[in-house]
Structure 1
């Protein structure tokens, strides 16, 4: 059975994916921002192997989470689920970075770079990415007036770009992205119309399934089916620029 780490999994889709994987007999490592959320996660999924604590808002916190995952031993898959939503006001982290960019984009990059390379990587994007522009010339929102919805959509585009960049750079790793649908989680809101029962299944499937349809790399999915992503996702030059920005913001170089 596989061992899977899921970032941002004390509640919501991350916890739901953990519950599904644990029910299938896999070893699940959850992640929570702080002690209170960690206790909540342990109560919700007592069969989880561990709950890693650490705040992904800062580069130091990202480093801590990656180190704690590595201390537990090799994982077979990482599901990059951690995110803040589209209603976020503009504020800067202790590193001077927009909060949405730090949590949604940079933490996925840093955890990818620092967690011992697994066999599979899964990145959660969003249907909102289809209409976004990567805006790599102003990824830190220094020139534009803040728009939380646009910032979120851009960050989810970045996550898909990271997935495809890793698929290209690490051919021995299966790296894919997906959108779970607009579902009524705390982030999505009570009026979200998509199927909650399907929202967590694709990421779990991509993380562990022996189905040939899941053993692919550099693909984008929605409800277990391949989907065409925003064309920018597949632009290698944009992928490389995004990686370079993440290196500059974090000081962490992606391993070969």
Structure 2
């Protein structure tokens, strides 16, 4: 990825999931290669200690907004804070939104303050809320990027059988605990793969709603060993994910976090070029699963997410 010309007008990128893993690599890559970019990171508790300082000489162009993406009202409030900064010209025009945050639990029993299943709340609903609350401030030429996963294919080729296939049901059921059987790792992983299928459905539906000049894409980084995605897993699973599985990158096409983060940065910055609604697989435009293309599902999901978002707005 080549640095853009220094004469590029200043612009703002809002990003989730930038405090660790491939998101942190992508965030640092973007602000160091595009000196016109001002980065706004949504992170619970304002991010880890020293997070902004980690950007070095570019730290002056990084702002952190406290947000718990499992709290729908809190996510909407964070978006309102960003809108105010844009309206006050404390930030340059908004040209990018990168929804990279994601979570995988060991069951489907984790409940948010809204009574929702946490995987769905973070991996699907939070993305919808942020796009809905910030979309009106996106400038012409903006790209929205949602990080998804090839686990949505549900086959051995894409995830080596490590994650069960998604199991679709009504969005109202998916958003509540226990949709996949309860307190078992299989239920948690199914909730994860299904949430990533839902995120692709969401991209397709938003592509129908966004105005011309604003594109939305889904981005699949593939399985990246050594990240903290499985931080809610058991201690042995976390240990293997961090120390054993990364060795597979030496003998397989798996990316390490540094390479995967750089690919994510490119996707956020508009490389490769892609039509709105496209699925980008590790740096190239590709096809998502046949199941991920279902206009009726996508409308149903949209309607349910809009209902949840509306309930949140009434509570604020």
What TM-score comes out, normalization by structure 1 length?
A: 0.88
CA separation in 2, counterparts of 1:252 and 1:14?
30
Residue 16 (str. 1) matches residue 39 (str. 2): no
Residues 96-245 of structure 1 aligned to structure 2 (within 5 Å): 96-117=115-136, 118=138, 119-131=142-154, 132-136=166-170, 138-139=173-174, 140-146=176-182, 147-172=187-212, 173-183=214-224, 184-187=226-229, 189-190=241-242, 191-192=245-246, 193=248, 194-196=254-256, 197-209=258-270, 213-245=272-304
Larger Rg: 2
Q: How many residues align?
A: 250
CA separation in 2, counterparts of 1:233 and 1:79?
21
Q: Which stretch of the first structure deviates more once superposed, 98-107 or 213-222?
A: 213-222
Unaligned 5+ residue runs, structure 1?
Answer: none
Residue 53 (str. 1) matches residue 66 (str. 2): yes
Residue 202 and residue 72 in structure 1: after superposition, are their counterparts in 2 closer, same or farther (change >3 A)? Answer: farther
CA RMSD of aligned residues (A): 2.2
Instruction: Quote how far apart the aligned CAs of 1:252 are.
Output: 6.3
CA separation in 2, counterparts of 1:185 and 1:63?
27
Deviation per CA, 1:111-158: give whole Å up to 9, x if none. 010014422110000111111233235212455413100001111111
| Runs of 4+, deviation exceeding 3 Å | 86-89, 141-144
Residues 37-52 of structure 1 aligned to structure 2 (within 5 Å): 37=47, 39-46=49-56, 47=59, 48-52=61-65
Deviation per CA, 1:83-138: give whole Å up to 9, x if none. 11243562211111011111111100100100144221100001111112332352
Residues 77-88 of structure 1 aligned to structure 2 (within 5 Å): 77-87=96-106
Instruction: Quote how far apart the aligned CAs of 1:68 are.
Output: 1.9
CA separation in 2, counterparts of 1:69 and 1:134?
34
**Residue number in structure 1 paired with 2:43:** 32
CA separation in 1, counterparts of 2:40 and 2:291?
32
CA contact (8 A) 2:103 2:119 kept: yes
Deviation per CA, 1:172-225: give whole Å up to 9, x if none. 21100011111120115322542123312343223223x5x4252111011211
CA separation in 2, counterparts of 1:83 and 1:236?
24
Unaligned 5+ residue runs, structure 2?
Answer: 1-7, 87-92, 155-165, 231-240, 249-253
